Structure 1
């Protein structure tokens, strides 16, 4: 069965999985050429007639056999690292595969279910399966930095007694032919499979957090208040983290286009285009007193509450009357 490798964790993330250039040649070859392979072998120095012999051991090249690849067989790609996407997890890489030590039995079961879901979603064949072990069929990789078609098989195991999870590459094919796998490829493709599982786990966790946050924010009380300077602001009775996750979706429903966000500074740049009358009738509120323009929403952390303020395209705070028209609209939108 085929599983196409297309990680772009932003591409987390995952741009670190491959080198910066593209194509097998640029990632596996020398910067210029391989003319050094044509260098003539060293020869013993022949003294000219009448010359006196002289020797100096300072520059003697040791006579030994060096092990390693040369020429096009040299792989210059940086080694992969296991992505740290699950809090509390530690990893260990050895000559056979990758082991993850989970912080609890609950997390171990979660990553096991994620693995089963990943296999099912991508129609990866299973040769043998038990409660604590899965032997996969061939997994085909589509990877731009390889010059052959790569396939591999894996054994995936969990050990509930020590809360460990392990991925081992067991078989290797190149262009459909079974071959011995090199140590570098065994490491690279064991880590690659591990990172796919970790990324799937992270995506599912984020989605569950988003759904949970949305449920919590369905009935968020929205009211007017003042900041420390006595200036009017909108106050939402929800945490900053919950509001930050939910605000972009809510804003888009109200006619805002989110153009930029900065979580650490609490800034959301938006462009507003007022919906038609039918929208406001369905929402059950009066339209906001905003013109079609660009605005900046300032999100503040007040502990278990969140402050919201809005500045216009010139950086000036909108008036209190405008905020008064926005507050009930935000409240109605969060309730939907």
Structure 2
């Protein structure tokens, strides 16, 4: 988002990268010439009166009146795809380019509809008309390197309640502007910019879901029992009674409070490399536990996924595991910091 009601496509995940270079026209048009436009018109096949024609249907040209661009008016950019960011949502496109996403539950649609209203308000997009189930926006400005001029569009976004119990929302482009001139929108642009707006909504919704999940994970971490135990090899380790992914979210917050300056992390390997410097006496007095006896230096925390539990072990700079007595002294410190 660049300015109020102005959206920059290149800064969004909804924008498909293109391998083309050069100006906007080169991104939209084929690089070869358009000599094919000079191809003579097809003529009726003339067959001698005594001949029996045989035709293969493989190459039969469909009959009908087809309208579409040719030459430089053909847009070669790949079609935009609606990002699958809402689990279980089903996409439906109409012949005129409208996009409808059908969701599994009404409460899910309620959250998406709230997301639409928040997005409109926070980005100061003007609203021409609004009801409980319909929003008609003012002009939304898009900046894209694929366009020669600044693009403006107006939308109608509606809640869609189907008779069979489906719940969805529909995005429909209702007005189009190139620069300061209002024009008739092409079918390609109608589809393209309906998808852009739909992806803005779904991306914002996905962001909210992730933030809420992270908040809940942090709440869960505050109530994690931490004790001494043994790993699958029978060696002493610290045991955090929570899932690996939940604990990993809090590692960047927990370790610095203990005096560890994190240098490297790898979630897939379960390793955190950090350099230790003991906190001052005030820290130990605040958490109410005995200071740990650990020399300054570089250490590696090894986190193991044990299903509904996570093991924690530590090695020094040479890769040698620290003493079991140190792990026993660290366990209550970790428990105290986690509760903060």
TM bucket, shorter chain:
0.7 to 0.9
Q: Which residue number corresponds to residue 19 of structure 1?
A: 18
CA distance in 2, matches of 1:19, 1:212: 38
CA shift at 1:293, angstroms?
4.3
CA shift at 1:319, angstroms?
2.5
Q: Which residue number corresponds to residue 53 of structure 1?
A: none
CA shift at 1:282, angstroms?
3.3
Q: Deviations over 1:80-106 (max 9, x none)?
A: 111111111111123332111111001
List runs of 5+ in structure 1 lacking aligned partners: 44-61
CA shift at 1:140, angstroms?
0.8
- State whether structure 2 residue 301 is matched by structure 1 residue 297: yes
Alignment map for 1:114-193 (pairs within 5 Å): 114-161=115-162, 162-193=166-197
- State whether structure 2 residue 3 is matched by structure 1 residue 4: no
Q: Deviations over 1:290-316 (max 9, x none)?
A: 455444333223333221222334443
Q: Which residue number corresponds to residue 50 of structure 1?
A: none
* Structure 1 vs Structure 2 CA RMSD: 2.9
CA shift at 1:242, angstroms?
1.9
Q: Deviations over 1:59-85 (max 9, x none)?
A: xxx9xx9952424x4433222111111
Contact kept in structure 2, 1:22 and 1:145, CA below 8 Å: no
Q: Which residue number corresponds to residue 259 of structure 1?
A: 264
TM-score (norm 1): 0.80
Comparing 227-236 with 314-323, greater Cα deviation is found at 314-323
Q: Which residue number corresponds to residue 270 of structure 1?
A: 273
Alignment map for 1:1-336 (pairs within 5 Å): 2-5=5-8, 14=13, 17-20=16-19, 24-25=23-24, 27-30=27-30, 36-37=33-34, 41=38, 67-71=68-72, 73-94=73-94, 95-161=96-162, 162-254=166-258, 255-257=260-262, 259-263=264-268, 265=269, 267-274=270-277, 276-277=279-280, 278-336=282-340
Contact kept in structure 2, 1:222 and 1:330, CA below 8 Å: yes
* Structure 1 counterpart SS, 2:8: coil
1:147/1:270 CA distance change after superposition, 3 Å: farther
CA shift at 1:177, angstroms?
1.1
Contact kept in structure 1, 2:155 and 2:175, CA below 8 Å: yes
Contact kept in structure 1, 2:14 and 2:199, CA below 8 Å: no
Contact kept in structure 2, 1:261 and 1:269, CA below 8 Å: yes
Q: Deviations over 1:89-143 (max 9, x none)?
A: 1111233321111110010101000111111111111110111111111111122
* Structure 2 counterpart SS, 1:298: strand
1:24/1:192 CA distance change after superposition, 3 Å: farther
CA distance in 2, matches of 1:7, 1:244: 32
Contact kept in structure 2, 1:23 and 1:146, CA below 8 Å: no
Comparing 142-151 with 311-320, greater Cα deviation is found at 311-320
**Number of residue equivalences:** 307
Contact kept in structure 2, 1:90 and 1:100, CA below 8 Å: yes
